[in-house]
Amino acid sequence: MLTSAQIISKALSAGVAVPAFNVPYLPMIEPIVRAVVEQDAFAFIAVARPDWMKGAAGSPAAVLAEYTRWHDPRQVRLHLDHVPVIDEDDREVDYQAVITEALELGYDSVMVDGSRLELAANIEATRRAVELAHAAGVACEAELGRVWGHEAGPLPPYDELFESGRGFTDVDEARRFVRETGCDWLSVAIGNVHGPLSEALKDKEKVHARLNLEHLGHLQQATNIPLVLHGGSGIPKEYVLQAMKRGIAKINVATEVRQTYERALAKAGKVAEAQDAVYAHICRLIRQEYNLAGTRERILATPEQGETAR
């Protein structure tokens, strides 16, 4: 069976991306897997620290238990998303303990987020997380730059952020970061934004972000590893498809799937109807927005010479 690292490398070579769908509610897992299988695609089921700290995911162990009920290794893998070193409330997190727990549980890949640190501190924290992950034979994702949206208050004017490039991942820093940390995948800031986490804002429509594709191309050349697009909800299709041709091999989607579940549940009052709404939405994303229906075989092709499947 191919590792997550090999799968993302295959996606990069094929010019497609593997979507990672966040699950702040455990009942979301079944319809997501069902949709991925039905569309003959490949995806990650992802859970981030805010999904169990502020959502209803419970814990990494609870997510694993529910994932194990429904997963199909030919279609999905389990990913530990955003484990911050400093969280959105400016509190220090014992990130190594969280990552270690996920590795011991058997997660297929992990992510450390030191993006709120200065460069040298981010490098050091990421290097420690990479060492933990690689010792377990697992890929480690990191983040450099500022993907806005998880702040406690409202997002600064988006057009101002985009035009100024404020928070964008620096090309020279990215080159150094990848070299000194050994991370497998890098989440980059190129105009993408996260959906808000606060109770006051989490139901609001997310900004329709644009992507600086030229800057993305420079980052790809500088790092030469698979790049990750966080904040995938609401980004126009033409940007996403072009980004896949410029190094984006994984795209994280959370806000629009969470809101689909919450709105359907609030309207119908039935978990089954909320699950059906999630299923339909994931099918649409895979088929119509990302053009990924039928790509599973391309992504899971026989390993290239020199690769080892685990």
Q: What's the confidence (pLDDT) of residue 151?
A: 60
**What is the value of pTM for the model shown?**
0.92
Q: What's the confidence (pLDDT) of residue 309?
A: 34
CATH code assigned to 4-299: 3.20.20.70
Residue ranges per structural domain of the chain: 4-299
160 pLDDT band, cuts 50/70/90, is confident
Q: What's the confidence (pLDDT) of residue 206?
A: 59
267 has a pLDDT exceeding 90: yes
Name the residue with higher pLDDT: 31 or 165.
31
* Burial label, 143 (beta-carbon count in 10 A; 0-12, 13-18, 19+): buried
Q: What's the confidence (pLDDT) of residue 201?
A: 47
247 has a pLDDT exceeding 70: yes
Residue 194 has which token pair?
A: 């996260």
310 has a pLDDT exceeding 50: no
| Least reliable range by pLDDT among 25-34, 86-95, 244-253, 267-276 | 86-95
* Burial state string for 27-54 with b = 16 or more CB within 10 A and e = fewer than 16: bbbbbbbbbbbebebbbbbbbbbbbbeb
What are the tens digits of pLDDT across the range 93-125? 999 999 999 999 999 999 999 999 999 999 999
* Burial label, 115 (beta-carbon count in 10 A; 0-12, 13-18, 19+): buried
306 has a pLDDT exceeding 70: no
236 has a pLDDT exceeding 50: yes
Q: What's the confidence (pLDDT) of residue 149?
A: 67
User: How high does pLDDT run on average in the chain?
Assistant: 92
CA dihedral 79, 293, 215, 162 (to 10 degrees): -80
Q: What's the confidence (pLDDT) of residue 176?
A: 98
Q: What percent of the chain lies above the pLDDT cut of 70? A: 91
DSSP 62: H
- Is residue 190 within 8 A of residue 169, CB to CB? The reply is yes
**Within a 10 A sphere around the Cβ of 276, how many other Cβ atoms?**
15
Q: What's the confidence (pLDDT) of residue 35?
A: 98
Q: What's the confidence (pLDDT) of residue 305?
A: 33
Q: What's the confidence (pLDDT) of residue 254?
A: 94
137 has a pLDDT exceeding 90: yes
156 has a pLDDT exceeding 80: no
Interval 68-86 mean pLDDT: 96
| Least reliable range by pLDDT among 10-14, 200-204, 302-306 | 302-306
Q: What's the confidence (pLDDT) of residue 91?
A: 94
